[in-house]
Structures are given as structure tokens and as C-alpha cells.
Structure 1
Amino acid sequence: MRNPLQEQLLKAGLVKKGKADQIARDQVKARLAKGPAKPPVDQDKVDAAKLQAERAERDRALAAERNAQAKRQELQAQIRQIVDTHKVKRGGEIEYRFNDGQRIRTVLVDAALRTQLASGALVIVRHGDGVELIPRAAAQKVYERDGACVLLDHGRKVGETSAAAADNATPASDDFYDQDRFKVPDDLIW
């Protein structure tokens, strides 16, 4: 049973009989279907979306890495600038030795610089391939940016943070070693 409009279009020759039958079948299927017909899933579109999401994630990771690298370079440039502006001119014949990781390094200083180093007024920092002496105030700025650049600081205890360095409070466990029998002579040179 056809629609009168379909019959008229067939008689006029505007529509072919096979096409009209196909449309009629599609309409019947649509009416009798239990739920809405799902459009076919295009696997290429799904793969393209996954690939795009992976690329976006990779791009975000690369951007974060580049930002971190730029931040490290900026901090290193700030440290270089601080050391260049605050370095103390050194010279003399007294060898002052200190640890640089697993190596023992030597810096030639005079008596005044040696006493300032021993008291903690001066700090030894890594600068390029060499080392430089800078005052404690400049060393605090270096600590804020990267504490690993500071090689020798007698004014700061081992493992002490910058907030604890400002307090300079001695813990109770060090009281035992503060006795007279454990004092290290001030003129000890090793």
C-alpha cells in the first residue's frame, strides 16, 4: 500500500519504482524499530580523536619540561649575577682547603679572608668552573635560588634550612660536643 503522493510521482516518472520501494522499507523499519537507530561509528574519527588527545598530552608535557628548563636557566643566571656583583677579591699565600663533593679543593687567601671564612662571614660558592668568595648576605640570596651552589658555609649547620639559619639556635644534642674537651683550635689548618 503506497502513499498517493508516491503513486503520483511514479506515474509522472519523477521517481523510479526501486527508489520508492527502498524509501517505503526504510519508513517501515523506522516505525517498527524498538529504539532510535544508532549512527554507525566511524573508526577513523575515533582513532583521529585519540591521536589528537595523545599529541595534546605530549605537547603539554614538552611545554612543562621547557618551562622547567627555562626556570632553571633563569635561576642559574640570577646566581651568576649575584656572585659577579658580590664576589670578594681574593689573594694571598695561605691555602684554605674545603670539600667539593668527593674532592678537596684549595683557595689561596690572606689572613683576614681566612678568619672571615672560619667565622662564617664569607661563603665559598661555585661559579662556573671555579669558586668565588661572597659575603653572607649574598649567600642567603644564593640559598634561596639553589643551595647546591654553596660549597662552604661555616655559619650554617649541616642540614639546616634558611629559616633555621636565621635563628642560629643550637639543638640540645650538640650541647655534649660544646664542652671544652671537644673544642677545635682556631688556628688549625689542614
Structure 2
Amino acid sequence: MAKANPLQEQLLKAGLVKKSKVAEVAREQAKARHGKSGTAPSEIELEAQRVRAEKAERDRAIEAERKAAARVTELRAQARQIIRDKKVPRTGESEYRFTADGAIRTLLVNDDLRRKLASGALVIANGGDGYELLPRPAADKVRERDASLIVLDHGQEAGADVAVPTSEDDAYYAQFQVPDDLVW
């Protein structure tokens, strides 16, 4: 037997532990000191670690996509709620035409609503089951959440990318006068 420490010898003499138990503990200590330090992980263990890391990364990516989709859905629902809450009642018999989804759509408005639409004070938004008029502040909130719901915004088009006509174009089209009150 290897040289035992004094505490182990005292416990043996007192009869509190058995000789086999002392030997077992000594073997475990020796194994812990010498056995673990030199062994490198096997290829199977390395492969298992790599597979676990890849799975964890895939799971994180899937969770991030799920959260992003949930966030988009939440923002779209908020935008639709704003449209329902802030819509301006439409009155009038005059038709106001605009394009949406590749087709010409029509809303019945009065002269005051037509002027506000032309100036950009009102915006047309897709309310899901139809088109609604929104005041500018509400339209800005909708645009922050889901810009695709804004169908027509004359106030926004002024800053949008518009083809800048050349002086040749201006000279040619200057001969055609367009009335200010043109309704199509």
C-alpha cells in the first residue's frame, strides 16, 4: 500500500474506516492526478460537440426568424388598429380616383376632403376591407409600422424620387396648359 497520510492512519487505527475504503480513495486520487490531464477528447466527442454547436446555432437562427415574424405581425396589427381608430368619415358625391394594386380605385369625397387629399393633409390607406382617409399624423404612425398600407400620399411624393425633367422636356410640355381643377 502506498504511504497513507497521518489522518488516514489514525482513522484506520480507530476503526472508523476499512482498509479497502482507504485504498479505493487513494486510487481515485491518483487517477484524478495522473489520468485526466493527458487525455485529449476523441474524434467522436469532438464531432458530437460540433454537431451540438451547429444545432444550437440553427435553433438560435430559427428563434430569431420567429421573433422577427411575430414582430412584423404585431406592427401590422397596430397599423390596422390605427387606421380603424383614426379614419376620417367620407362624405360627398364627387369621385376621387387613385391607383392601388395596379387598378384604379374610387372613393366618394366632398370638395373639402379633395382639397385636403391634394395638399397632403389627408392620406389614403388600405384598411383591409376597403380604403380609408387618414389625417397626416395618423398616417405617419401607420408608415412607421407598415409603410405598405399607405396607398396614396401627396405630401410624401414631393420628397420621393421623381424623374427630373430636362429643359428640353420642359420646353416641349410648356405648350400644353393643364388646368388646376383637372379631375379624372
TM-score by length of 2: 0.66
What is the root-mean-square deviation of aligned Cα atoms in Å?
Answer: 2.8
Per-residue Cα deviation, 1:77-113 (whole angstroms, up to 9, x for no partner): 2211211121011133221111113221111222221
Q: 1:136 to 1:184 in 2, by over 3 A?
A: farther
The one-letter code of the counterpart of 1:91 is: T
The one-letter code of the counterpart of 2:179 is: P
Residue 189, structure 1, aligned to residue 171, structure 2: no
The one-letter code of the counterpart of 2:151 is: L
Task: Output the CA distance in 2 between the equivalents of 1:87 and 1:100.
Answer: 18
Residue 157, structure 1, aligned to residue 151, structure 2: no
Structure 1 spans left out of the alignment, 5+ residues? 1-36, 162-170
Per-residue Cα deviation, 1:128-155 (whole angstroms, up to 9, x for no partner): 1321100111111122222221111111
Structure 2 spans left out of the alignment, 5+ residues? 1-36
Task: Output the CA distance in 2 between the equivalents of 1:73 and 1:183.
Answer: 47
The one-letter code of the counterpart of 1:132 is: E
Aligned residue pairs total 143
Q: Which residue of 2 aligns with 1:64?
A: 64
Percent of matched pairs sharing the same residue: 50
Q: 1:110 to 1:145 in 2, by over 3 A?
A: same
Higher RCO by CA contacts (8 Å cutoff, separation 6 or greater) = 2
TM-score by length of 1: 0.64
Give how far 1:184 is off.
Answer: 4.0
Secondary structure in 1 aligned to 2:132? strand
Residue 109, structure 1, aligned to residue 109, structure 2: yes
Task: Output the CA distance in 1 between the equivalents of 2:115 and 2:40.
Answer: 84
The one-letter code of the counterpart of 2:183 is: I
